Structure 1
Amino acid sequence: MIISVIGTGHVGLVTGAGFSEMGHTVICIDQNQDKITSIIDGSIPIYEPSLDEIVSRNKSSGRLHFTTDLAEGICLSDVIFIAVDTPQLSHGQSDLSQLESVTHQVAKASNNKKTIVIKSTVPVSTCRRIDRILRKYGNGTVFNVVSNPEFLREGKAVYDFMNPDRIVLGTRSDDKDAKRTMMKIYEPFEKDHVEIIYTTLETSELIKYSANAFLATKVAFINEMANLCDAVGANITELARGIGLDNRIGSSFLKPGPGYGGSCFPKDTLSLTVQAQEANCPVRIIESVINSNSSHIRRLGRRVSDFCAECWNIDCKSSLLGKKIAVLGLSFKANTDDIRSAASTVIIPFLIKQGAKVMGFDPVLSATEKFTDQFQDTIPTFEAKTDLDTVLWGADVVLVLTEWEEIAKIDWLKKRSILNSPIVVDFRNLFNPDLMRKYGYHYASLGRP
């Protein structure tokens, strides 16, 4: 089966590479000539572990192709996956302009019956809207529209694609052809006993938002419990274990941190509240989760200055003035270069406004470039490096924001000599408080005495 994937962002590129790894012939299409040329030349535009290996292997085998010629790619394909961005507009709605533009092009370029699969995260009823556009502009071509949301974690996207815990397929109730086509594509997973959920278009669209909203709720919940542990002297690590062993709750997403970020949770939770409001059925829990997460991230910035004031026994209003702060980790989580809605994008500007000199470390070069590009006008004094010791040298405060392996393995006993002041604020709870105290550090973490 020949498959086209339109869009070579995180979802599109992983999807295309994954299908080719399964044995399908795949054509990845993107209008950005520089991106396509870069991928053909062997340079992957996103950081995702093992993705470059899969792309290289399947390009060499002749199963994976890249082009900017959308019309040719569509004509050669039986099934077309659309994985273009649906970014957030100012009031939380999803911007569907790219999706609609591509749909018009697909409709006009199609030369025979096609199955159109929407991989992009889209509001409820979007697939029906896409179906209408295809029928209107398709010159009589028969289209089967399918909703097939992705559940890929950044940093583990390749693994998640090849090892799904479920596959969700939404179709029109009378569209048996679409179901047969999708069964053929995903047949290897069905043989591996992966559960495939067949449902309506609307339910499929809503499953994606509901899953992300529920996980975001767990993140916000455990962060609030960590704050409460700080206030009453309890231990969040033991608390999380105590509730996570309840199989009705589960242990995943119960580790405190600097709030959720990235391309999905912030956008999808807000979009869900907008959709609910438009349906006159507000989702108050999700609205509270959004507020909780925002408040938590802002609170952490203030906590840095308060903790330093305690350590130095000075007024917290001027505790960071002229101090060098080494921020370890810029991306919203480890194993990705994504800084969208990352805690670093909120906390670092706050620290600089307090008069601090901030230098950031991230092991992925693209993350440092993205950060400096985003803030070069508003915080020009910020520097980002990929060398850890350069960032730590002469630091008055070390702030941990991302759980990169390179950060988790730091030998703080050895690093003590290059720091100006032994203060570590760890918002990922990566290090042992007793050991840090033994090494002579002032150490703060989340929800641990």
Structure 2
Amino acid sequence: MNVSVVGSGYVGTTVAACLADLGHEVTAIDIDTEIVETINSGETPIHEPGLAELVETHAGERLHATTDHAALRETDVTFLALQTPSREDGSIDLGALEAGTRDVGEALAEKEDYHLVVVKSTVIPGTVEERLEPLLEEVSGQEAGEQFGVAVNPEFQSQGSAVADFMGPDKLVFGAEGERALDRLDELYAPLVADNGGIPIVETGRREAMMVKYANNVFLAGKISLINELGNLCKEFGVDSYDVAEAIGLDERIGAKFLRSGVGWGGSCFPKDTDALRAAGREAGYEPELLDSVVAVNDGQPRRMLDLLERHTNVEGRRIAVLGLAFKPGTDDIRGSRATLVIDDLLDRGASVAAYDPVASDAMAEKFPDVEYVESAQAALADAHGALVVTDWDEFATLDGEFDDMEQQIVVDGRRIVDSRDGMTYEGLTW
């Protein structure tokens, strides 16, 4: 099939490259000329394991990029993969998505054969029917259902494993009105289904499909906050929370995944989607008390790290190492990173911060320009009076002699990645 993808961020670039790898002809459309040139040169604008290889393989062949939305007229399906960032009140900002939708509508005005528009962007249920579809009709001068269809196909890609998640999904969710749209989605994903020996496909309404996306992320965020709450209690009672988690994870009703207690969740999805659903619930007249608690527990974990550190040393005026800045290993994304809260709190307490991350230092430097960013964990630890481990990069598990360079070997581990050793004062956040 001929496919166009509007938006070349984390989701859009991954979707475009993976669809090309499945054999489709893909056109990535973005208003940023630098991103377009990067993709056409065979490089990726983002750091994501496995993505660079796909872009390099297919650029100039089955994958092309352009700033011209008119290119979608030569395609059968257009994905809308534009950001819907959070406002201050937690609600989502539809500005970029609506602008992209308007561009798509203008291109559809001169297209005669049926075209399917697929919403990949995460939006509150009802947004497609109440905002996006009417906008497409207004701009294109065409009626939905006749000349074009609008479907919802939420993504369940985790940063750091987005390519693997796309190519081997747990499920595919198709939210559509009418068989025509469903048939086109079936055809589009047929190679993926065949490669995986069959994937569960959920065919549902558009509102339901979007709610599946929110429910998926909010449920996982809640599970993490619950194990963190339990982990905090375990710490107070001198109990190893990981032994507890291993045991309860054997209960098939609970499951073993997402039971690693620690400094909490971040990223572009869990915080945004949880806040958006809370804000939408309040607008609808419902107080989401449990979701409020999920967020409160998560936001409290970084401060607990500093409180544990200050049981052993005063941070004011002293060098403190922060190991890990990305919100999770395998990505350079700092959105929602627990490290931002850790650094902010350290600076408020008068500490001098030395920070290290394999790939995310440049991004964090834009947020905290006065922090010292170093090229290795050893450089961060040198002469430090304490260290906070915030991201569980594999290289931190191999640290040993590097701690000898610390002024005080006090380590607070937020991810259970560092091994304690003789001469070290070691505090696990929840164990």
- Counterpart of 2:78 in structure 1 is 80
- Counterpart of 1:285 in structure 2 is 290
Q: Does 1:214 align with 2:219?
A: yes
Q: Does 1:322 align with 2:317?
A: yes
Q: Does 1:408 align with 2:409?
A: no
* 1:443 aligns with one of 401, 404, 426: 426
Q: Does the aligned pair in 2 maintain the 1:124–1:206 contact within 8 Å?
A: yes
Q: Does the aligned pair in 1 maintain the 2:76–2:115 contact within 8 Å?
A: yes
Which residue identity is paired with 2:394? Answer: E
* 1:105 aligns with one of 72, 88, 103: 103
- Counterpart of 1:422 in structure 2 is 409
- After TM superposition, the score normalised by the length of structure 2 is 0.95
Q: Does the aligned pair in 2 maintain the 1:82–1:116 contact within 8 Å?
A: yes
State the identity %: 37
CA 1:43–1:385: 2 relative to 1, 3 Å: farther
CA displacement, residues 245-286 of structure 1 (integer Å, 9 cap, x when unaligned): 101100111001211111011110010111222222333221
Q: Does the aligned pair in 1 maintain the 2:262–2:430 contact within 8 Å?
A: no
CA displacement, residues 173-200 of structure 1 (integer Å, 9 cap, x when unaligned): xx11101100000112333210010000
- Counterpart of 2:367 in structure 1 is 374
- Counterpart of 1:188 in structure 2 is 191
* 1:350 aligns with one of 332, 345, 352: 345
What is the 5 A alignment of 1:21-420?
21-60=21-60, 62-71=61-70, 73-110=71-108, 111-112=111-112, 113-128=114-129, 129-140=131-142, 142-172=147-177, 175-191=178-194, 192-306=197-311, 308-309=312-313, 319-364=314-359, 367-376=360-369, 380=370, 382-410=371-399, 412=400, 414-420=401-407
In 1: Cα distance, 2:126 partner to 2:280 partner: 10
Which residue identity is paired with 1:442? Answer: T
Q: Secondary structure at the match of 1:186?
A: helix
Which residue identity is paired with 2:139? Answer: Y
Q: Does the aligned pair in 2 maintain the 1:134–1:143 contact within 8 Å?
A: no
In 2: Cα distance, 1:136 partner to 1:358 partner: 53
In 2: Cα distance, 1:22 partner to 1:42 partner: 17
In 2: Cα distance, 1:171 partner to 1:136 partner: 20
In 1: Cα distance, 2:362 partner to 2:418 partner: 28
Deviation at 1:56, TM superposition (A): 0.6
Aligned Cα RMSD in Å? Answer: 1.4
Deviation at 1:294, TM superposition (A): 1.4
- Counterpart of 1:312 in structure 2 is none
Unaligned runs of 5+ in 1: 310-318
Q: Does the aligned pair in 1 maintain the 2:83–2:97 contact within 8 Å?
A: yes
Deviation at 1:383, TM superposition (A): 1.3
Which residue identity is paired with 1:210? Answer: A
Q: Does the aligned pair in 1 maintain the 2:309–2:411 contact within 8 Å?
A: no
Q: How many residues align?
A: 422
- Counterpart of 1:314 in structure 2 is none
4+ residue runs over 6 A deviation: none
In 2: Cα distance, 1:420 partner to 1:297 partner: 23
CA displacement, residues 143-174 of structure 1 (integer Å, 9 cap, x when unaligned): 110000000010000000000010001012xx
In 2: Cα distance, 1:387 partner to 1:233 partner: 33
Deviation at 1:388, TM superposition (A): 2.4
Deviation at 1:44, TM superposition (A): 2.0
Which residue identity is paired with 1:21? Answer: D
- After TM superposition, the score normalised by the length of structure 1 is 0.91
Q: Secondary structure at the match of 1:92?
A: coil
Deviation at 1:440, TM superposition (A): 1.4
Deviation at 1:288, TM superposition (A): 1.4
Q: Does the aligned pair in 2 maintain the 1:30–1:67 contact within 8 Å?
A: yes
- Counterpart of 1:313 in structure 2 is none
Q: Secondary structure at the match of 1:189?
A: helix
In 1: Cα distance, 2:324 partner to 2:378 partner: 14
Q: Secondary structure at the match of 1:144?
A: strand
Q: Secondary structure at the match of 2:59?
A: helix
In 2: Cα distance, 1:257 partner to 1:8 partner: 32
CA displacement, residues 389-433 of structure 1 (integer Å, 9 cap, x when unaligned): 2222222212111000111221x2x22432222111111111344
Deviation at 1:108, TM superposition (A): 1.4
In 2: Cα distance, 1:282 partner to 1:79 partner: 39
In 1: Cα distance, 2:96 partner to 2:205 partner: 24
In 1: Cα distance, 2:81 partner to 2:231 partner: 37
Q: Does the aligned pair in 2 maintain the 1:359–1:391 contact within 8 Å?
A: yes
In 2: Cα distance, 1:108 partner to 1:415 partner: 59
Of 139-148 and 2-11, more deviation after overlay is shown by: 139-148
Deviation at 1:296, TM superposition (A): 2.4
Q: Secondary structure at the match of 2:158?
A: coil
Of 199-208 and 133-142, more deviation after overlay is shown by: 133-142
In 1: Cα distance, 2:258 partner to 2:84 partner: 25
Q: Does the aligned pair in 2 maintain the 1:190–1:196 contact within 8 Å?
A: no
Deviation at 1:372, TM superposition (A): 0.8
Unaligned runs of 5+ in 2: none
Q: Secondary structure at the match of 1:430?
A: coil
Which residue identity is paired with 1:186? Answer: Y
